């Protein structure tokens, strides 16, 4: 009479380890992809906050310059703020309180933030644009 075999054979153990290794490899790829996406989302959220901050301070803390300004935040985010006066004559056909004889100036202000571009990551950018009304300086 043949004794009962207890435990696993070598082939069964090898198959189990192979399935385990493949499963762990797939899980590691999923987790690393999730971390990469979380980094991209965090950077984009920071770029949005920076652009909103630039637009909120434009014309409030200092008068709007005719032209552009630029800077860098944390050596990662490069921003450009462009302010151009709008011609009120273009709005003359529309019903508007801003007429060419008005004592207000209308400015188009645009904030562009760029980041990335290193380590096989594409350069990303985000742009916000708004209109600002400003009283012209008195001479």
Burial (0-12, 13-18, 19+ Cβ within 10 Å), 102: middle
DSSP 3-state assignment of 116? Answer: strand
Is this structure's pTM higher than 0.85?
no
Please tell me what DSSP assigns to residue 102: -
In tens, the pLDDT along 3-48 reads 677 777 888 899 999 999 999 999 999 998 898 889 889 999 999 9
- Nearest to 85, CA basis, from 63, 107, 104, 117: 107
Instruction: Domains for the chain: give ranges and CATH numbers.
Output: 10-134 (3.30.1300.30)
pLDDT the model gives residue 101:
56
Angstrom distance (rounded) from CA 84 to CA 89: 15
Contact 132, 107 (CB under 8 A): yes
Q: Quick one: what percent of the chain has pLDDT higher than 70?
A: 79
Q: Which residue has the tokens 């990303």?
A: 124
């Amino acid at each position: 009479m043949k004794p009962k075999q207890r435990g696993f054979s070598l082939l069964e153990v090898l198959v189990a380890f192979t399935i385990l290794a493949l499963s762990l490899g797939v899980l590691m790829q999923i987790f690393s992809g999730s971390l990469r996406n979380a980094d991209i989302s965090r950077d984009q959220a920071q770029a949005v906050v920076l652009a909103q901050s630039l637009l909120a301070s434009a014309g409030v803390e200092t008068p709007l310059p005719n032209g552009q300004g630029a800077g860098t935040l944390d050596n990662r985010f490069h921003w450009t703020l462009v302010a151009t006066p709008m011609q009120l004559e273009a709005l003359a056909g529309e019903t508007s309180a801003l007429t060419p004889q008005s004592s207000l100036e209308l400015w188009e202000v645009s904030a562009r933030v760029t980041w990335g571009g290193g380590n096989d990551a594409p350069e990303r950018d985000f742009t916000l644009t708004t209109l600002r009304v400003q009283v012209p300086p008195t001479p």
